[in-house]
Amino acid sequence: MSELAREELSALAAIYCEPGACEELAASEIHGISFRIQISVKEVLDTDVLLKLLFHLPVNYPSTLPDISVNSDQLTRAQCMDVKEKLLEEAKKHLSEPMVHDLILWVQQHLKEVIKQSAAACNEKTTLSKGTEDGIWMLLLHLDHMRAKAKYVKTVEKWASNLRLTGRLMFMGKIILILLQGDRSSIKEYLVLQKTSKVDVDSSGKKCKEKMMRVLCETEVQSQHKRFQTFEVKEYSALEELQKEFETAELTALFSEFVPPLLK
Protein backbone atom coordinates (compact mmCIF):
# COMPACT_ATOMS: atom_id res chain seq x y z
CA MET A 1 0.00 0.00 0.00
CA SER A 2 1.13 3.59 -0.46
CA GLU A 3 2.86 5.44 2.36
CA LEU A 4 0.28 8.20 1.98
CA ALA A 5 -2.52 5.73 2.70
CA ARG A 6 -0.79 4.41 5.82
CA GLU A 7 -0.11 7.96 7.07
CA GLU A 8 -3.70 8.96 6.41
CA LEU A 9 -5.06 6.00 8.36
CA SER A 10 -2.77 6.85 11.29
CA ALA A 11 -4.07 10.42 11.28
CA LEU A 12 -7.69 9.22 11.13
CA ALA A 13 -7.09 6.84 14.05
CA ALA A 14 -5.83 9.80 16.08
CA ILE A 15 -8.87 11.93 15.18
CA TYR A 16 -11.50 9.20 15.60
CA CYS A 17 -9.99 7.66 18.69
CA GLU A 18 -13.10 6.50 20.58
CA PRO A 19 -13.63 2.71 20.80
CA GLY A 20 -15.01 1.39 17.51
CA ALA A 21 -14.74 4.75 15.72
CA CYS A 22 -11.83 3.71 13.48
CA GLU A 23 -11.10 0.06 12.74
CA GLU A 24 -8.60 -1.39 10.28
CA LEU A 25 -10.12 -4.42 8.54
CA ALA A 26 -7.44 -5.61 6.11
CA ALA A 27 -4.07 -4.48 4.79
CA SER A 28 -1.97 -5.87 1.95
CA GLU A 29 0.92 -4.70 -0.22
CA ILE A 30 -1.00 -6.13 -3.18
CA HIS A 31 -4.61 -5.15 -2.47
CA GLY A 32 -4.25 -1.99 -0.39
CA ILE A 33 -5.95 -1.20 2.90
CA SER A 34 -9.54 -1.37 4.15
CA PHE A 35 -10.93 0.29 7.26
CA ARG A 36 -14.21 1.40 8.80
CA ILE A 37 -14.99 4.83 10.25
CA GLN A 38 -18.05 5.21 12.48
CA ILE A 39 -19.47 8.70 13.01
CA SER A 40 -22.61 10.24 14.44
CA VAL A 41 -24.26 13.01 12.43
CA LYS A 42 -26.38 15.36 14.50
CA GLU A 43 -29.95 16.50 13.88
CA VAL A 44 -30.80 14.41 10.82
CA LEU A 45 -34.33 12.95 10.55
CA ASP A 46 -35.06 14.55 13.96
CA THR A 47 -32.44 12.32 15.52
CA ASP A 48 -28.74 11.52 15.36
CA VAL A 49 -27.71 9.17 12.55
CA LEU A 50 -24.91 6.67 13.13
CA LEU A 51 -23.00 6.21 9.88
CA LYS A 52 -20.59 3.34 9.19
CA LEU A 53 -18.28 4.31 6.33
CA LEU A 54 -16.07 1.60 4.88
CA PHE A 55 -13.13 2.71 2.75
CA HIS A 56 -10.89 0.52 0.62
CA LEU A 57 -7.78 2.38 -0.53
CA PRO A 58 -6.14 0.58 -3.48
CA VAL A 59 -2.35 0.39 -3.75
CA ASN A 60 -2.19 3.36 -6.14
CA TYR A 61 -4.39 5.60 -3.97
CA PRO A 62 -4.77 8.60 -4.05
CA SER A 63 -4.16 8.51 -7.81
CA THR A 64 -7.12 6.10 -7.88
CA LEU A 65 -10.43 6.73 -6.12
CA PRO A 66 -11.22 4.68 -3.01
CA ASP A 67 -14.05 2.14 -2.89
CA ILE A 68 -16.69 3.32 -0.42
CA SER A 69 -19.52 1.51 1.35
CA VAL A 70 -22.14 3.27 3.49
CA ASN A 71 -24.32 1.61 6.12
CA SER A 72 -26.68 2.92 8.80
CA ASP A 73 -29.50 1.39 10.81
CA GLN A 74 -31.34 4.73 10.62
CA LEU A 75 -31.23 4.99 6.80
CA THR A 76 -32.75 2.86 4.07
CA ARG A 77 -30.52 0.98 1.65
CA ALA A 78 -31.50 3.44 -1.10
CA GLN A 79 -30.48 6.39 1.07
CA CYS A 80 -27.15 4.73 1.86
CA MET A 81 -26.53 4.24 -1.87
CA ASP A 82 -27.34 7.91 -2.53
CA VAL A 83 -24.86 8.98 0.16
CA LYS A 84 -22.23 6.70 -1.38
CA GLU A 85 -22.77 8.16 -4.87
CA LYS A 86 -22.44 11.71 -3.54
CA LEU A 87 -19.25 10.79 -1.67
CA LEU A 88 -17.74 9.31 -4.85
CA GLU A 89 -18.65 12.48 -6.76
CA GLU A 90 -16.96 14.54 -4.05
CA ALA A 91 -13.92 12.22 -4.09
CA LYS A 92 -13.27 13.05 -7.76
CA LYS A 93 -12.58 16.65 -6.71
CA HIS A 94 -9.74 15.45 -4.46
CA LEU A 95 -8.07 12.97 -6.83
CA SER A 96 -4.29 12.68 -6.31
CA GLU A 97 -4.45 13.95 -2.72
CA PRO A 98 -5.43 12.27 0.59
CA MET A 99 -9.18 12.71 0.81
CA VAL A 100 -10.83 10.48 3.41
CA HIS A 101 -11.00 13.08 6.18
CA ASP A 102 -12.37 15.66 3.75
CA LEU A 103 -15.06 13.16 2.68
CA ILE A 104 -16.03 12.47 6.29
CA LEU A 105 -16.35 16.21 6.99
CA TRP A 106 -18.36 16.63 3.80
CA VAL A 107 -20.90 13.95 4.71
CA GLN A 108 -21.28 15.38 8.21
CA GLN A 109 -22.13 18.77 6.70
CA HIS A 110 -24.33 17.57 3.82
CA LEU A 111 -26.07 14.37 4.99
CA LYS A 112 -29.37 16.11 5.73
CA GLU A 113 -29.42 17.65 2.25
CA VAL A 114 -28.59 14.33 0.56
CA ILE A 115 -31.40 12.55 2.42
CA LYS A 116 -33.90 15.23 1.39
CA GLN A 117 -32.84 14.85 -2.25
CA SER A 118 -33.08 11.08 -1.93
CA ALA A 119 -36.63 11.31 -0.58
CA ALA A 120 -37.66 13.61 -3.44
CA ALA A 121 -36.17 11.25 -6.03
CA CYS A 122 -37.90 8.31 -4.37
CA ASN A 123 -41.28 10.03 -4.63
CA GLU A 124 -40.73 10.70 -8.33
CA LYS A 125 -39.92 7.04 -8.92
CA THR A 126 -42.89 5.58 -7.05
CA THR A 127 -44.47 4.31 -10.25
CA LEU A 128 -41.26 2.43 -11.05
CA SER A 129 -41.12 0.62 -7.71
CA LYS A 130 -42.24 -2.69 -9.20
CA GLY A 131 -39.38 -2.59 -11.69
CA THR A 132 -36.92 -2.03 -8.86
CA GLU A 133 -38.43 -4.91 -6.89
CA ASP A 134 -37.92 -7.20 -9.87
CA GLY A 135 -34.35 -6.03 -10.59
CA ILE A 136 -31.13 -8.00 -10.19
CA TRP A 137 -30.16 -8.47 -6.55
CA MET A 138 -27.25 -9.93 -4.65
CA LEU A 139 -27.23 -11.99 -1.46
CA LEU A 140 -24.26 -12.91 0.75
CA LEU A 141 -24.81 -15.61 3.37
CA HIS A 142 -22.54 -17.05 6.04
CA LEU A 143 -23.00 -20.65 7.19
CA ASP A 144 -21.54 -21.83 10.48
CA HIS A 145 -20.93 -25.43 9.33
CA MET A 146 -22.02 -28.29 7.09
CA ARG A 147 -22.14 -31.73 8.69
CA ALA A 148 -23.54 -33.53 5.63
CA LYS A 149 -21.42 -31.52 3.20
CA ALA A 150 -21.97 -33.52 -0.01
CA LYS A 151 -25.76 -33.52 0.39
CA TYR A 152 -25.82 -29.87 1.46
CA VAL A 153 -23.75 -28.75 -1.54
CA LYS A 154 -25.91 -30.76 -3.96
CA THR A 155 -29.05 -29.17 -2.51
CA VAL A 156 -27.68 -25.63 -2.82
CA GLU A 157 -26.66 -26.31 -6.43
CA LYS A 158 -30.16 -27.61 -7.19
CA TRP A 159 -31.87 -24.57 -5.65
CA ALA A 160 -29.59 -22.18 -7.54
CA SER A 161 -30.26 -23.98 -10.81
CA ASN A 162 -34.04 -24.14 -10.33
CA LEU A 163 -34.22 -20.45 -9.41
CA ARG A 164 -31.77 -19.39 -12.14
CA LEU A 165 -29.37 -17.88 -9.64
CA THR A 166 -25.67 -17.46 -10.34
CA GLY A 167 -22.77 -16.98 -7.94
CA ARG A 168 -20.48 -18.99 -5.70
CA LEU A 169 -20.57 -21.43 -2.79
CA MET A 170 -17.19 -20.71 -1.20
CA PHE A 171 -15.14 -22.67 1.32
CA MET A 172 -12.00 -21.22 2.94
CA GLY A 173 -10.89 -23.04 6.07
CA LYS A 174 -13.89 -22.94 8.42
CA ILE A 175 -15.51 -20.07 6.53
CA ILE A 176 -18.52 -21.00 4.35
CA LEU A 177 -20.09 -18.29 2.20
CA ILE A 178 -22.88 -18.33 -0.38
CA LEU A 179 -22.92 -15.41 -2.83
CA LEU A 180 -25.94 -15.28 -5.13
CA GLN A 181 -27.14 -12.99 -7.92
CA GLY A 182 -30.51 -13.03 -9.65
CA ASP A 183 -34.08 -11.71 -9.67
CA ARG A 184 -35.10 -10.39 -6.28
CA SER A 185 -38.11 -12.72 -6.19
CA SER A 186 -35.76 -15.68 -6.72
CA ILE A 187 -33.39 -14.40 -4.02
CA LYS A 188 -36.32 -14.19 -1.60
CA GLU A 189 -37.48 -17.70 -2.54
CA TYR A 190 -33.96 -19.06 -2.01
CA LEU A 191 -33.88 -17.56 1.50
CA VAL A 192 -37.17 -19.27 2.33
CA LEU A 193 -35.80 -22.61 1.14
CA GLN A 194 -32.55 -22.13 3.06
CA LYS A 195 -34.39 -21.36 6.30
CA THR A 196 -37.21 -23.90 6.12
CA SER A 197 -35.75 -27.01 4.45
CA LYS A 198 -34.05 -29.87 6.27
CA VAL A 199 -30.78 -29.39 4.44
CA ASP A 200 -28.26 -30.72 6.99
CA VAL A 201 -28.02 -33.20 9.88
CA ASP A 202 -27.53 -32.57 13.59
CA SER A 203 -24.88 -34.12 15.86
CA SER A 204 -26.92 -37.31 16.11
CA GLY A 205 -27.27 -37.63 12.33
CA LYS A 206 -30.92 -36.58 12.24
CA LYS A 207 -32.07 -34.30 9.40
CA CYS A 208 -32.38 -30.68 10.51
CA LYS A 209 -33.04 -27.16 9.25
CA GLU A 210 -30.32 -24.52 8.89
CA LYS A 211 -30.45 -22.56 12.16
CA MET A 212 -27.04 -20.87 12.11
CA MET A 213 -27.16 -19.02 8.79
CA ARG A 214 -26.55 -15.26 8.76
CA VAL A 215 -27.54 -12.83 6.03
CA LEU A 216 -24.46 -10.61 5.73
CA CYS A 217 -25.74 -8.49 2.85
CA GLU A 218 -28.81 -8.28 0.61
CA THR A 219 -28.70 -5.46 -1.93
CA GLU A 220 -29.41 -4.51 -5.53
CA VAL A 221 -26.59 -5.21 -8.00
CA GLN A 222 -24.93 -1.95 -9.04
CA SER A 223 -23.66 -1.02 -12.50
CA GLN A 224 -20.02 -1.41 -11.45
CA HIS A 225 -20.57 -4.98 -10.24
CA LYS A 226 -19.80 -7.81 -12.66
CA ARG A 227 -22.46 -10.48 -13.09
CA PHE A 228 -21.58 -14.11 -12.44
CA GLN A 229 -22.49 -16.22 -15.46
CA THR A 230 -22.76 -19.54 -13.61
CA PHE A 231 -23.10 -20.96 -10.11
CA GLU A 232 -19.93 -22.70 -8.96
CA VAL A 233 -18.68 -24.43 -5.83
CA LYS A 234 -15.11 -23.37 -5.04
CA GLU A 235 -12.56 -24.04 -2.30
CA TYR A 236 -9.75 -21.63 -1.42
CA SER A 237 -6.55 -22.43 0.43
CA ALA A 238 -5.80 -18.83 1.47
CA LEU A 239 -7.68 -15.62 2.24
CA GLU A 240 -5.94 -13.89 -0.69
CA GLU A 241 -7.55 -16.37 -3.12
CA LEU A 242 -11.00 -15.69 -1.66
CA GLN A 243 -10.39 -11.94 -1.83
CA LYS A 244 -9.39 -12.24 -5.49
CA GLU A 245 -12.76 -13.88 -6.24
CA PHE A 246 -14.57 -10.86 -4.86
CA GLU A 247 -12.22 -8.40 -6.58
CA THR A 248 -12.79 -10.05 -9.97
CA ALA A 249 -16.50 -9.31 -9.57
CA GLU A 250 -15.76 -5.71 -8.47
CA LEU A 251 -16.95 -6.58 -4.95
CA THR A 252 -13.88 -5.48 -3.00
CA ALA A 253 -15.89 -3.32 -0.59
CA LEU A 254 -18.28 -6.22 0.10
CA PHE A 255 -15.34 -8.49 0.93
CA SER A 256 -13.62 -5.91 3.15
CA GLU A 257 -16.76 -5.17 5.13
CA PHE A 258 -18.00 -8.68 5.81
CA VAL A 259 -15.25 -11.30 5.40
CA PRO A 260 -12.33 -10.17 7.65
CA PRO A 261 -14.61 -9.93 10.74
CA LEU A 262 -15.41 -13.64 10.28
CA LEU A 263 -11.77 -14.45 11.01
CA LYS A 264 -11.84 -12.85 14.45
Domain extent listing, the chain? 3-121, 136-262
Superfamily of domain covering 3-121:
Ubiquitin Conjugating Enzyme (3.10.110.10)
Determine the pLDDT at residue 46: 67
Residue 126's pLDDT band (cuts 50, 70, 90)? very low
Compute the mean pLDDT over every residue in the chain, rounded to the nearest whole number: 87
The single-letter code of the amino acid at 50 is L
> How many degrees, rounded to 5, is the angle at CA 3 between CA 13 and CA 86?
60
Give the integer Cα–Cα distance in Å for 55 and 91: 12
Distance CA 250, CA 253 (A): 8
* Per-residue confidence band for 81, with pLDDT thresholds at 50, 70 and 90: confident
Q: What is the DSSP letter of 133?
A: H
Give the pLDDT band (50/70/90) at residue 76.
Answer: confident
CA distance 39 to 21: 7
User: pLDDT tens for residues 3-44?
Assistant: 888 899 999 999 999 998 999 988 888 878 889 999 998 866
The rounded distance, in Å, linking the Cα atoms of 185 and 4 is 44
CATH class of 136-262: alpha beta
* Rounded alpha-carbon distances, angstroms, from residue 148 to 13, 177, 185, 194: 44, 16, 28, 15
Distance, in Å, from the CA atom of 197 to the CA atom of 192, rounded to the nearest integer, reads 8
Rounded Cα distance between 229 and 237, Å, is: 23
Counting Cα atoms < 13 Å in the Cβ hemisphere of 159 gives: 25
What confidence tier does 127 reach under pLDDT thresholds 50, 70, 90? very low
Q: Which residues pair with 49 in a beta bridge?
A: 41
* Cα angle value 210/215/221 (rounded, 5°): 130
Which residues, in sequence order, are bridge partners of residue 47?
A: 44
